[in-house]
Amino acid sequence: QVQLQESGPALVKPSETLSLTCTVSGASISTYYWSWIRQPPGKGLEWIGYIYNSGTTNYNPSLKSRVTISVDTSKNHFSLKLNSVTAADTAVYFCVRGGSAADYWGQGTLVTVSS
Amino acid sequence: QSVLTQPPSVSAAPGQKVTISCSGSSSNIEKNYVSWYQQLPGTAPKLLIYENYKRPSGIPDRFSGSKSGTSATLGITGLQTGDEADYYCGAWDSSLSAWVFGGGTKLTVL
């Protein structure tokens, strides 16, 4: 049974860096594509980026200048860093398995950007 | 503004059939696989359809997917009140080099 669990601060100040980790169980992080997707309150889904092959990344062009996704194979988890955040980055952040279709999703974590 | 276009809402009576459309372009739907997701209130989306029409294990055959040209369609038959949810389509966009989604469709089972 594949399971994903997001973790990280629920509140981030404007201009600071949002950092989240997704811990994966039941599947090797070295296999498959792994993505971050976010959903602002009451709005639709937005793909942030993916990582695969333990290090190859691809980011949404609209966020590319602010995003870094990395993987720690020893802990079987992957991470998201989004810098220079604003209120527009307030959203539920999901980690998922897949790069263009997601068969497993974390429960999501709400991150609020506010001072 | 989403890259893929879905109707904001659809409705139908229990037991009836409904279809949800997803319109895109030659760089996404026409060229790449489409997937569909169901998001019940307060939960993470769940994969319903992948590679245009395939259903993951555990998804009932009441749910079906099809694609023609630059559009895709999700069909749901035998509607149940438990099907009330938001539905999203998604596809890779080769021009943007990005995974894109529709804006979502809220299904109401009257």
Mean pLDDT to the nearest integer, A62-70: 97
Mean pLDDT to the nearest integer, B18-43: 97
- Of A52, A87, A50, A86, give the one whose Cα is nearest residue A68: A50
A109 touches chain B (CB under 8 A): no
Q: Is the pLDDT of residue B1 over 90?
A: no
Q: Determine the pLDDT at residue A112.
A: 98
Residue B42 Cα to chain centre, angstroms:
18
User: Which residues of B fall within a CB distance of 8 Å from A50?
Assistant: 99
pLDDT (tens digit per residue) in B66-110 = 999 999 999 999 999 999 999 999 999 999 999 999 999 999 998
User: Which residues of B fall within a CB distance of 8 Å from A46?
Assistant: 101
d(CA A109, CA B31): 33
CA nearest to B8 within chain A: A44
Interface A-B: count of C-beta contacts within 8 A = 56
CA distance A9 to chain B (A): 19
Q: Determine the pLDDT at residue A69.
A: 98
pLDDT band at A114 (very low <50, low <70, confident <90, very high): very high
- Chain B residues with CB under 8 Å of a chain A CB are 2, 32-33, 35, 37, 43-47, 50-51, 56, 88, 90-92, 96-104
d(CA B50, CA B74): 11
Q: Is the pLDDT of residue B6 over 80?
A: yes
The kind and range of the H/E element at A91 are strand A91-97
Q: Specify burial of residue B41 (Cβ count, 10 A radius: 0-12, 13-18, 19+).
A: exposed
d(CA B76, CA B70): 20
pLDDT band at A96 (very low <50, low <70, confident <90, very high): very high
d(CA A94, CA A39): 8
User: Which residues of B fall within a CB distance of 8 Å from A47?
Assistant: 98-101
Q: Determine the pLDDT at residue A53.
A: 82
Residue A42 Cα to chain centre, angstroms:
19
pLDDT (tens digit per residue) in B33-67 = 999 999 999 999 999 999 999 999 999 999 999 99
Which of the residues A50, A93, A100, A103 would you substitute to probe the B interface, choosing the one with the greatest number of B C-beta atoms within 10 Å? A100
User: Which residues of A fall within a CB distance of 8 Å from B103?
Assistant: 44
Percent of chain A exceeding pLDDT 90 equals 93
Phi and psi, residue A4, nearest 5°: -125, 140
pLDDT (tens digit per residue) in A11-61 = 999 999 999 999 999 999 998 999 999 999 999 999 999 999 878 999 999
In terms of DSSP H, where are the helices of B1-110? none
- Cβ atoms of A67 and A114 within 8 Å: the answer is no
- Of A105, A94, A99, give the one whose Cα is nearest residue A8: A94
Q: How many CB atoms lie within 10 A of CB A74?
A: 7
Q: Determine the pLDDT at residue B83.
A: 97
- Cβ atoms of B103 and B24 within 8 Å: the answer is no
